[in-house]
Structure formats: structure tokens, C-alpha cells
Chain A
Amino acid sequence: MTNYTTVAPWRTGDVVSATKLTQMTDNLAYVTGLYNQRHYVYDSGADIINGWNGSTPILRRPTQPWVKGKFHDAWICHNGDRLVVYAEITDNGNPIGLSYDKDGDTNPQHFPLVNGLNTLQLNTTGFYQYQPVRIRIETVYQTGYDDSLWVRYIYQTNSNTPSWPTLPAFTNGTASSAADLNALVAATDKARQCFEQPISSGYYFCDAPWVEQGFMGYVRRSHQFFNLDIVASGENTGYVFLNLNGQNAWGYTFPPGNAGFDGMVAVDLTSLGSVPAVGNWYLVQTGYNPQEGHEQACVFVWSMAEQPGKTYANFDTMTRWEHGDLVDGDILGVMVDNLATLNTNRHWINTACRTGYYRVNSPTDEPQYGRYSAYRVHRWLAYEAFVDDDGKRASPQILWASGNRGLQSYSLPAADQPSFFDLESTPVKPGMYMRITGCKFAIQVPQVLGGVYA
């Protein structure tokens, strides 16, 4: 869904049009909504080599999410010119590199990585906006050295984050000006550029036996609440937990009789003992602590994400305009106030989507690929079908729910290259929950742009 339209510039001598003012208001409302969207947790970690298929390493996700590995694969829908990677690298003499690779690109960009925060300046020539790009982080020498890599998060930002215009006061009794109105238009558009980012799906657990695996990821603090939508059942005295920023934020001990938990856990981040600062990335951990002899649990994590409270208290109600309405500076001033709030929280974060592989030593060799979940926002889904170690291509699907836990499926084309799928052709409406399976990545984008050819 996109509800942003280009506003014709205001000029001195123009007649104030109610439709145009409403258009500006609608644009700002849309951008405000984008700011208030969910932020999914990045699926942190690394993959290890678990054998070779000829000269191709067979990648596996370690049983424990904190274990370091040699690979980290992710995809991003290109929007920005900088890549920020936080990598935990053990210095064992085996350097780590990152490639930024349009699928099939014969000359991808390569960058060396260091332990900690890496900000990589990309050459964006030849990329179109929202083009799917593969990011591979790997050890330069894949054999002979210990696993040394663990990636906290990857996102793209922009070195040219749009500058913010000075916003006018719109005081009644003072002369109107085109510059005032154009400042509203410009500020709204700059905010849109920041907030209208691709949406990389979150990670969900399926109903496999879930023993000492758990999940570790990082999310950037933007909102007040962290929501965990979970269905869990386990053996007596087993314990399911959610830790945020290194602190226990929620826990559930299974009572006798295998009574499970089914519901939404909403953690007020400001209530944590150590509150993660807005703009900082913090650790999210979920897991199951079994008691001896009671190791088995079934856990669905449907989704976990940061999101704002329901009231959006920081934003004032904006009035739509009608033919004949007084051109009231106070009403225009509400837009200024809301833009100021957006500016305070403005950022350019285009988070990557990690590719999952089979988990090593899983009792059922349960595939991790395609464990993506998200609520639909944008119209287009960027994805590519997953190919397993034997070259077999998975059948991508969308599993969608219409308000309850029951899921229905919708098949996606088994695309053999990064593709865009029109979600309008599915039953999944904006705001509905969906899982995307059988894919290397699943990223929603607002538009599919290739530019007008020259």
C-alpha cells in the first residue's frame, strides 16, 4: 500500500486549493503511519560449513544461535548508499569480507570487515531503487580456521539523508506565502524518503520440536513496545522466556498438565531496568529452558517486533480540507507540529533479510529457510525461491491468517531469480499477517522501480 502522491509546487499568486491541501495532509498522514510501523528483529548469527558438495560448502545453521560460523547470507532491497554491518569477528588471522552482489553480477563490490561496526560506502552506479541485492559475509579462507564470525545486524542507510527545511509558523494575520506551503511539502517528502523503506520480514519458529535452540537477534529501538506473539506448549516446569537488552522481559513456566500459552506479550520497553536508548540496537533473545527429563516443547513464535502504542499520542489530529474552508493558519500549524515530531525521530534504516539454511543436527533436519513472517504493508514482495544443497528448488508459499491461528496457503511462482510479486493478487490485504516460506528472502517494497530507460 502506498498513499503518497506528488504535490505540484506552490507559487505566489496560486489559489489555495482544498484538494491540494488535503493531498498534503494525506501524504503526511501516510508518512506518519510509516514511522509508526513495526520493526522486526534481525536474525543474527552465522552459518557453519557442514561438509562439502564438490567444491561448494554445505551451509548449516548451528544448533545454538550464539555459535560463531564462517558465513552470513542476507538480501537487501537496494535503497541507500551505505551499508552498516555489525560483525563480531574473532581475530584468528582469517580475514572476513563482504560482497554486495546483484544476482548474476560478474563484478560484485567487495569490502573487508573488521570486528565491530562497519560502515561501507557503496558504489550505487547501475542499481535501481529497491533492486534485490545479495550480501554475503564470509571468511576469506573457508577451511583451516576456526569459525570466527557472528553478525548482529545489517542495514543500509544513506549518506545524503535529506536535509530538513525550516518550517514556518503559519500565524493567522500574516501574509501567506508559497515558500511556507512548499516547506510543508518538502518536509513531508523528506520524511517519506526516510521512512518509506523496504520491509524485511521477521523470523518465525515453526512447530518443530524445539530443544535448546532459541533465537538471538537485534532490533533498533524506535518505539515504546516490543510485542511477542507466541503459542507455546511444553512439559512440566519448562520455561519460555523473552529477554530484551540482556534482561528478562517476560517468562512463562509451564504448569502441570502441559497447559500452554497462546497470546500477545507486549513489553513496555521503558519499564525495563536498563532501557535501550532510541536509535540503539539491542539484543532480543527467546528460548526454552527445559528441566531435566522434560526437554520437549512446541513453540510458535508468530512474530516479534517493536511497535508503538495504540494511541500515537505524539501526533495531533489533522483536518482535511474542503472547498470553502477558511485558510486557517492554526490548521496548517498542526501539520508543522506533526512534522517536527517526525523529524525528531527521523532515520534512514533499510534492514536486510537474512537467508536461513538447514539447522545442523536437527532431529528432522528441519529447514530454516523461508521462515519469514510479516504483516503486509507494501504492495510488492521481493523474493527468490530457495535452492537446497542438491539443487532442488523449493515451492514458495504465502501462509496467511485472517485474524486467528488458522493458516491458508497461496503459492508463489518458483522464481529462479530475484523477482517481485504483486501482493494485490493474493488474499493478503495490507495489515494482515503472513508467512513466506521456501524463499531465500522476503522483503516488501512500496514500488518496483527500474527507471525510465534513456
Chain B
Amino acid sequence: MLTKEESYIFDLAQNPQHAGELVDATLTLEGANLSCGDEIVLYLELSNDVIASAKHSSRACAVCVAGAEMLIEEIIGKEVKKTLEITNEEIIKKFPIELSPTRQKCATLALQTLRGLKKT
């Protein structure tokens, strides 16, 4: 049986609000977790250094997809440089369940992918 907290994460992953592609994406970032095979693509639409819109396309576990959903909620409307200040702990804290070190990597894959912005 799933707990209420686990159900929240699975629901978030099974009914993602920000999944899909952005046709007008200014930037597309790809990330992967080689140890488990999770893959994510982040689509960002920038307007004057502000993230106007964002979506993700994930082939990943529930924790990873939920992490991407939580991240996108956090970054829309924010300046790019502010989003790069988001820490792993801030994302992990949003999860109502305890995450093992392995699952923390899943939760922060979208954030790691966003950090690819530093290279662009």
C-alpha cells in the first residue's frame, strides 16, 4: 500500500503538468543518470534573461519526474541567474518522503540538467 505521501509523488509523476515539448524553446538541455538510465530534456523559453516558460520530457522514474515538475514550478518567472542558485537540498526538501542518496540523484536530475545553462 502506498502512503499518502508516496501517492502524492506517484500522482505528480503520472499526471505531470509541465510535461511535453516547447515549440518555441530558446534552449534545450539534456540530462541523464547513467547508473539507472533516467533521461530528461528541459525546454526553456527565455525572455530578457527570465524563464518565461518551461517544460520537460522525461523517460524516468516517479521521483525524477516529480523533481522536474517541482523544479519547473520553481523557475518559471525567475531570472536565469537566480535559478542557478537553487540547491539540491531545496528540491529534496519539497519531497514529502525521505529520499535515499540514490533517489536524491533522481530527484535532482532536472536541476542538474538546468545547471547545463552555465555552459551555454
Bound together? no
Chain A interface residues (CB < 8 Å from chain B):
none
B positions within 8 Å CB-CB of A: none
